[in-house]
C-alpha cells in the first residue's frame, strides 16, 4: 500500500473499506504532517485534531462491524477554507473586526462533506475578506508557499492550496470569483475546479455573495489528485433551498465518457500584453497539440479584448457587488481609507494594503474606470466577456502568466496590480482548473483549462485522457525543497 500522504481521497476511501488502512492511522499521518509543515507555511489557522481522532475511531469501528452502508469518503481527512461556517469554530475571513465571530451551524457544503464521511482536520487561511490573490491578513498573518516559503500561495483559498500542496490534506473546500481556487492550485502544484455557477451552493460563506456576485462566486474543490475533483463535485452539488442560484440536476454526465475525438480545442498562449515563461508555454503546447491531434483540430486564436482582461473582470465585479468593499471592511460602516493608510504607515491599521487599495475604488476591484466611461463600465466588461465566451471551444487550454511570485513583491504598493493584470480572464464563468508541472527550479507551474458553462465533465475528461496517454509530461522530482520531501506526492497532467 502506498504512503497515505500520496494517495487520493477516493483511493484512501477504498483502502479504508478494504481494511488495507485504518482511518485513525490516515488521520494521524496527516495531523503529523500538518504539525511538521505548518510552523513554516502557516496554512492551517484553526484545528480540531482531537475531534478528528474521535471521528476516525468511530469510522474504524463501523468498518469492524461490517457495515455495508458506508458513505463515499468514509474516514478520509480533509481541510476547509476558514470562511466557510463550521459550527463552534471561528469564521473570521481574515477581518480583525470579526476576530470573535463563531459559526453556529455548518455551511451546506461542509455538512455534505461530513455526511459523505469526510473528517475535517482544520481550517485554512484566506486573504482579507477573501478578496486578493495572496492569503495574508491581520488576524492570522501570511501563508507561505510549501515549495519556497519566500513565495506566496495565491488567494483567496491559498491556505487550502498550500496545505494540500505540502502533502498534509488530500482535499479541501474553496470558493472562486476571480481565481481564488485556480490561483492556489496553480501556485502550489495541486488541482482545483471552479464549477459552472448553480451547481454548488454558496450558502454559509462569509462574506456571503449577494445579487449578481452570487452567480460570479462559485464554491468548488481543491485536491491532491485530479481524480477526486468529479467525485467531490457530485457530493457538493445540488440545491440547498437557500442559495437562489443553486439547483438540482445542474451537474450531469461522466468525465470517463467524454469523447476526446469530438472536441474542438483552442490554445490561448498569451493575452497580448504580458509574455509567458518559455517552460510554461512549452508545457501548454505539448498538451494542446496532443489534444488537437486526437480531436477535431487545434486553433490558436488571438482575442484582442484579453489585453483588457483585468478591466473586464473589474467591470463585472463592480456591476455584481451590491455593497462597496469599504463598507464590508467596516462591517456595514464605510471605513476611511485615508485614515487607515495613515495608520498603516505607523503599523496601526487592522487592514492589509490590498484591501485598502480595493476599498479606495469604492467597489470591489473597481479598476474598470481606467478603460470604460463610468456609464459604460459594466456593459463594457459584460459585452466583452460574452463575446469571448461565445467563441469558446469544447475544450480550451489557457496559460496564466502568474507564477508563485515572491510574497514581498505583493506588499509593495506600486506593484500591487501587476499580478492581477496577469490573471487573464480570471472571472470566466466556464469552470476551470489548474494542472501542475514541475520546472527544474523546484517551483510549480501550471496550466489553466476550461470549457463552456454547463459542460464541467469535459475538462476532467480531457485531463484524464492526457494522463492516461502521458501526453503532458512525466512526474519530476522536487528539488531544493526545504520542508517537503514527497517525490511522488502530486501527479502531473
Give per-residue burial for 13-29: e unless 16+ CB within 10 Å, then b: bebbbeeebbbbebbbb
167/108 Cα distance (integer angstroms): 26
How far does Cα 349 stand from its chain's mean position? 28
Told to judge if 81 belongs to the known catalytic residues of this protein, a careful annotator would answer yes
36/33 Cα distance (integer angstroms): 5
Told to judge if 156 belongs to the known catalytic residues of this protein, a careful annotator would answer yes
Told to judge if 426 belongs to the known catalytic residues of this protein, a careful annotator would answer no
The C-alpha cell at 344 is 498603516
Question: Which residue's C-alpha cell is 517525490?
Answer: 487
CB neighbours of residue 141 within 10 Å: 13
How far does Cα 54 stand from its chain's mean position? 29
Q: What is the CA radius of gyration of the chain?
A: 21
Q: Which of 81, 194, 307, 363 is catalytic?
A: 81
Q: 3-state DSSP call for residue 478?
A: coil
Q: Which of 156, 157, 169, 449 is catalytic?
A: 156
The C-alpha cell at 214 is 452570487
* Strand segments (E) across 144-214: 171-176, 191-193
The C-alpha cell at 297 is 483540430
Q: 3-state DSSP call for residue 77?
A: strand
| Residue 195 DSSP symbol | P
434 φ/ψ angles, rounded to the nearest 5 degrees:
-115, 135
375/450 Cα distance (integer angstroms): 31
CA nearest neighbour of 130 among 412, 321, 336: 321
Q: Which of 180, 434, 436, 492 is catalytic?
A: 180
Looking only at the bridges linking them, the beta strands covering 136-137 and 141-142 are antiparallel
Active site amino acids:
81, 156, 180
Amino acid at each position: 500500500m502506498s504512503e497515505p500522504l500520496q494517495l487520493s481521497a477516493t483511493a484512501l476511501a477504498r483502502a479504508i473499506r478494504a481494511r488495507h488502512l485504518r482511518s485513525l492511522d490516515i488521520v494521524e499521518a496527516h495531523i503529523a504532517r500538518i504539525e511538521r509543515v505548518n510552523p513554516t507555511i502557516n496554512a492551517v489557522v484553526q484545528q480540531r485534531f482531537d475531534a478528528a481522532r474521535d471521528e476516525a475511531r468511530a469510522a474504524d469501528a463501523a468498518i469492524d462491524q461490517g457495515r455495508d452502508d458506508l458513505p463515499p469518503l468514509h474516514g478520509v481527512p480533509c481541510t476547509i477554507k476558514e470562511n466557510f461556517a463550521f459550527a463552534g469554530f471561528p469564521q473570521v475571513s481574515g477581518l480583525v473586526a470579526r476576530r470573535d465571530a463563531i459559526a453556529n451551524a455548518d455551511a451546506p457544503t461542509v455538512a455534505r462533506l461530513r455526511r459523505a464521511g469526510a473528517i475535517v482536520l482544520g481550517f485554512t487561511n484566506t486573504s482579507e475578506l477573501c478578496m486578493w490573490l495572496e492569503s495574508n491578513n491581520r488576524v492570522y498573518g501570511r501563508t507561505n508557499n510549501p515549495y519556497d516559503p519566500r513565495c506566496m500561495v495565491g488567494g483567496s483559498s491559498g491556505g487550502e492550496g498550500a496545505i494540500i500542496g505540502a502533502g498534509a490534506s488530500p482535499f479541501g473546500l474553496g470558493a472562486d470569483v476571480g481565481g481564488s481556487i485556480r490561483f492556489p492550485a496553480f501556485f502550489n502544484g495541486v488541482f482545483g475546479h471552479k464549477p459552472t455557477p448553480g451547481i454548488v451552493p454558496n450558502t454559509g460563506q462569509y462574506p456571503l455573495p449577494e445579487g449578481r456576485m452570487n452567480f460570479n462566486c462559485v464554491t468548488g474543490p481543491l485536491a491532491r489528485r485530479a481524480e477526486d475533483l468529479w467525485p467531490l463535485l457530485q457530493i457538493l452539488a445540488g440545491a440547498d433551498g437557500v442559495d437562489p442560484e443553486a439547483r438540482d440536476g445542474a451537474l450531469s454526465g461522466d468525465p470517463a465518457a467524454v469523447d476526446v475525438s469530438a472536441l474542438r480545442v483552442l490554445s490561448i498562449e498569451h493575452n497580448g500584453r504580458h509574455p509567458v515563461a518559455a517552460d510554461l508555454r512549452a508545457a501548454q503546447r505539448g498538451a494542446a497539440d496532443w489534444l488537437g491531434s486526437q480531436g477535431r483540430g487545434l486553433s490558436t486564436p488571438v482575442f484582442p479584448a484579453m489585453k483588457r482582461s483585468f478591466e473586464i473582470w473589474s467591470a463585472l465585479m463592480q456591476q455584481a457587488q451590491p455593497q462597496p468593499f469599504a463598507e464590508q471592511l467596516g462591517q456595514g460602516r464605510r471605513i476611511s481609507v485615508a485614515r487607515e493608510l495613515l495608520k498603516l504607515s505607523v503599523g496601526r491599521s487592522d487592514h492589509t494594503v490590498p484591501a485598502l487599495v480595493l476599498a479606495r475604488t469604492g467597489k470591489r476591484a473597481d479598476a474598470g474606470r481606467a478603460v470604460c466611461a463610468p456609464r459604460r463600465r459594466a456593459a463594457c466588461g459584460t459585452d466583452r466577456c460574452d463575446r469571448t465566451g461565445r467563441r469558446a471551444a469544447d475544450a480550451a487550454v489557457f496559460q496564466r502568466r502568474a507564477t508563485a511570485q515572491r510574497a514581498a513583491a505583493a506588499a509593495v504598493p506600486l506593484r500591487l496590480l501587476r499580478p492581477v493584470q496577469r490573471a487573464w480572464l480570471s472571472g470566466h464563468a466556464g469552470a476551470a482548473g489548474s494542472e501542475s508541472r514541475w520546472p527544474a527550479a523546484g517551483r510549480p507551474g501550471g496550466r489553466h483549462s476550461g470549457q463552456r458553462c454547463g459542460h464541467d465533465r469535459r475538462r476532467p475528461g480531457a485531463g484524464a485522457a492526457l494522463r492516461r496517454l502521458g501526453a503532458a509530461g512525466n512526474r519530476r522530482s522536487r528539488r531544493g525543497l526545504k520542508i517537503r520531501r514527497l517525490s511522488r506526492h502530486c501527479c502531473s497532467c
